[in-house]
Structure 1
Amino acid sequence: CSEFGNRSCPENFRSPGVRGVMYLFITAAFILTVLGNLAIIVSISYFKQLHSPTNFLILSMAVTDFLLGFAIMPYSMVRSVENCWYFGMMFCKIHYSFDLMLCLVSIFHLCSIAVDRFYAICHPLHYTSTMTVSTIKQVLVMCWSVPAAFAFGVVFSEAYASGIEGYEMLVKCSSSCPIMFNKLWGTILFTVGLFAPACIMIGIYVKIFTVSQRHTCEFSQAQRHTKDKKNYLSRNKDRKAAKTLSIVMLGFLICWFPCFFTILIDPFLNFSTPLPLFDTLNWLGYLNSFCNPLIYGFFYPWFRKTFKYILKGKIFNPYFR
């Protein structure tokens, strides 16, 4: 272990004041992440008017962000600030498995929401018969089970590290919870976990906005009777929802693409990416879970309204629903 150390933590190069400020800001970030997503969970769960297929998917994605803030970010905070992993190698694997799983669960949800909006706007006559509660349940099972099987299978089998010279010695001697993907699994993770879903979502949203633009032109040229106005308002509402969710998708890609891209190229650079840089990119990804409630609050009037009800304690009134 002379090359890596003997599992003892290296002397921290940060002063106590810097570590205190980092703890303060990161603690504030994960507390706000937990509270913001908890507000979404309570809003959609409590108010029956919000029980729709799209909102059930948003609810499940909020659960993902809540778990990331509640169960993952505190341990990552200690590792980042102290430059050491104090919780043992077994918990290191469990922690990273859940971390990877929740990230993949988020992008699976974004793909599902894109498909939901595609049917709502491009095939409105078939939407209610296609996106039923039963269908949504099946989609949610897939969104959680597939990433869980992938993440835990890859991490605990250590297939991701196959062929990396010196990795076994690094695991035995390091105190930093090292997880390094080889060229094969780095490419698979980037392609399956980010690139392919992103291409699918971008293609769907381009199609949605093309169809929406055509509908707008058709409605502006035709006389609008009472029924037509209702249809127009309904479709306009769907377009606004699709626009909001496309911003959520864009936020996810901006936050997580640098981290996934680093995982992809790091083995080709002989694992020369500095640990502080990789740590920073990982926290940029975590920031997405903090941003999602802000996006919903800014673009969704129903969330702002229900959030006020929650703050005022009206939801504790049994006659208020």
Structure 2
Amino acid sequence: METFNASIWTTDSTEVIDVFYETDTTPKEANRPVFSATFLILVLLAASTVLTNSLILAAFYVERKLRTYTNYFILNMTIADFAVGFLCMPIRSMIHLFDGWPFGKVASIFFMGFQNSILGVSVCGVVTICIDRYIATFYPIQHYQKKSIRKATAVNVFTWVSSFGLWMMMSTAWDFIQPNNLVTSSGFSRPNYSLTYTSSLFMFALRFGLPFVIMTGLYIRIYFRVKNIGSKHLMKFMKKRKTNEKESSVTGSVCTDEQSSTATEVSLEEGLTAIDQIFALPGMSNNVEKSESSRGIIDNDKGTEDAKPRNVLPAVVPRVGKRLAASKNQILNKPQRESRAEGQKAMRTLTFIVFVFIVTWLPTAVTVTMYAFFPEFYHYIKNKVRLSEITRWVAFSNSLVNPMAYAMAQPLFRHTIVKIIRRQKI
């Protein structure tokens, strides 16, 4: 039986590996188990992934305040990441224990399909959160009116159905319909979609390229929309207030408490959107809290008919939030929108998970790009280190870092997890 080695694409986790072409072989038999430092490290990584995601699931279960519309998307990603740590990572680490795939060809085909599907659900979850935040930023009233737990659940179910439908069809059904009897150097059955450069590139684009373009594009648009439009409206609001004060001082008009309050509330309608949007950016709320302690508050009880017009802007801007949103809704009777606190929390969460996705999946993208355009350099690096195996596990680590990102972005997650660990009553 003639066997030869060739370099070719495969996207079982969207990386390039060596493939052994064999005429009539099945996945090679595994050796006896041999424990190594690499295997123990990978098992520890899998256990850490299960633990961190379990804590997020437990926090979501015991703390009702965490069961918000946005956090249901976080719950969906956490379930997928838990499956990666509980199933994909331990099973994948078996090839380092047995120096090959020990469970046969059929199990290999099913595992490849399941692994790709679960990773697809996690990636789709990040894209879903980006799209939802985009709609909330550009169409805030419509988003607030239509969002619901039922809608979030339906979207989450769709990510599972679409991901498993695509990857089980491409990775499992196709291989059973047209078996190729080829194996990779690690003993896995080689998927049919990796037989050509074009189909492999297409699958890599679905796994990383397209999600990356969508996430970065939407995030950049959201950021500049919030920053630019918010600043523009705030400047307009402040300019109009200054003009009104000058006109009042020139004409010598007298403002009663009731008139001043009404004028202030109407002016808030013009500046509220800008202020809310600006403070929705990560890191902006601290300045507001500091301002409240250093500025005065309007005292309506001391107003008289001969009272001078007062500058209400210093007292209004630091007190945005629930009070101003309530005043706007009561006076103008307009549809309610997402609060500043909710927007800030969602934006901070989005920032963390997009950053984590790019960092953990970028090495795989670099490896594939290197192989496509600089194959000689790729093979030089591969001969020094197991480049494809390293990038594969870096991509797996996305499921470990995601729950840490949720805890960093939302203090309530952190506090609840600490209480769970300390066994405190919640």
**2 CA distance for matches of 1:118 and 1:297?**
22
- The CA deviation at 1:199 is 1.3
The C-alpha deviation readout for 1:217-245, integer Å capped at 9, x for no partner, is: 24476433687433689336523532332
Say whether 1:208 aligns with 2:313: no
Opposite residue 168 of structure 1, the aligned amino acid is N
Contact 1:160 1:186 in 2 (8 A): no
1:262 & 1:110 partners in 2: Cα distance?
Answer: 22
Query: TM-score by structure 2 length?
Result: 0.63
Alignment of 1:168-207 (within 5 A): 168-171=180-183, 176-179=187-190, 181=194, 182-207=196-221
Contact 1:212 1:239 (8 Å CA) reproduced: no
Deviations 1:72-108 (A, max 9, x none): 1111112135430101111111111111111111111
CA contact (8 A) 1:33 1:290 kept: yes
- Whether 1:310 and 2:322 are equivalent positions in the alignment is no
Gaps (5+ residues) in structure 1? Answer: none
Where does residue 234 of structure 1 map in the other structure? 339
Instruction: Rate the CA distance shift 1:79–1:28 in 2: closer, same or farther, 3 A.
Output: same
CA contact (8 A) 1:80 1:279 kept: no
| 2:136 alignment partner AA | A
Question: 2:100 matched to 1:8?
Answer: no
| 1:152 aligned residue | 168
Could you list the runs of 5+ residues in structure 2 that have no partner in the other structure?
4-19, 239-312, 326-337
Q: 1:302 to 1:241 in 2, by over 3 A?
A: same
Equivalent residues in 2 for 1:92-171 (5 A)? 92-158=108-174, 168-171=180-183
Name the amino acid aligned to 2:422: K
Letter in 1 for 2:190: I
Q: Structure 2: which amino acid aligns with 1:204?
A: L
Higher helix share: 1
Change (3 A) 1:51 1:219: farther
Residue 130 of structure 2 aligns with an amino acid whose one-letter code is A
User: One-letter code of the match for 1:312?
Assistant: R
Q: Distance in 2 between matches of 1:276 and 1:225?
A: 57
1:80 and 1:265 map into 2 onto residues whose CA distance is: 25
The Cα RMSD (Å) is 3.4
Aligned with residue 250 of structure 1, among 355, 361, 368: 355
The 1:68/1:202 distance shift into structure 2, 3 A limit, reads same
For 1:7-44, what per-residue CA distance to the aligned partner results, in whole angstroms no more than 9, with x for missing partners?
234799xxx6xx53223221221111001011111212
Bigger radius of gyration: 2
1:159/1:129 Cα in 2 relative to 1: closer, same or farther (>3 Å)? farther
Residue 267 of structure 1 deviates from its aligned partner by: 8.1
**AA of the residue aligned to 1:89:** K
| Letter of the 1:229 counterpart | G
Instruction: Name which of structure 1's ranges 122-131 and 199-208 shifts more when overlaid on structure 2.
Output: 122-131
For 2:349, give the aligned amino acid: T
Equivalent residue for 2:332? none
Instruction: Specify the SS of the correspondent of 1:68.
Output: helix
Q: Give, in angstroms, the shift of residue 159 of structure 1.
A: 6.4
Residues 47 and 61 of structure 1: CA distance in aligned 2, closer, same or farther (over 3 Å): same
CA distance in structure 2 between the aligned counterparts of 1:26 and 1:188, rounded to whole angstroms: 29
Query: AA paired with 1:286?
Result: F
Question: For residues 72 and 255 of structure 1, what CA distance do their matches in structure 2 show?
Answer: 17
* CA–CA distance in structure 2, aligned partners of residues 264 and 154 of structure 1: 23
Aligned-partner Cα distance in 2 for 1:285–1:211:
31
Answer yes or no: is 1:25 the counterpart of 2:41: yes
Q: Quote the offset at 1:134 in angstroms.
A: 2.6
Q: In 2, Cα distance between the equivalents of 1:213 and 1:117?
A: 15
Cα displacement (A) at 1:125: 1.5
> Alpha-carbon deviation of 1:143?
0.5
CA distance in 1, matches of 2:366, 2:228: 36
Q: Offset at 1:197? A: 2.1
CA distance 1:235–1:119, change in 2 (3 Å)? farther
Contact 2:352/2:406 (CA < 8 Å) preserved in 1?
Answer: no
Report the counterpart of residue 80 of structure 1 in structure 2.
96
Structure 1, 249-258 or 42-51: larger mean CA deviation: 249-258
Structure 1 counterpart SS, 2:121: helix
Q: CA deviation at 1:259?
A: 2.8
Is the counterpart of residue 52 in structure 1 residue 162 in structure 2?
no
Provide the C-alpha distance between the structure 1 equivalents of 2:224 and 2:121, rounded to a whole number of angstroms.
Answer: 28
Aligned residues: 306
- Mean CA deviation greater in 219-228 or 99-108: 219-228
* Structure 1 residues 35 and 246, CA gap change in structure 2 (3 angstroms): same
% identical equivalent positions: 22
What residue in structure 2 maps to residue 282 of structure 1?
392
Task: Give the stretch that moved more between structures: 93-102 or 175-184.
Answer: 175-184
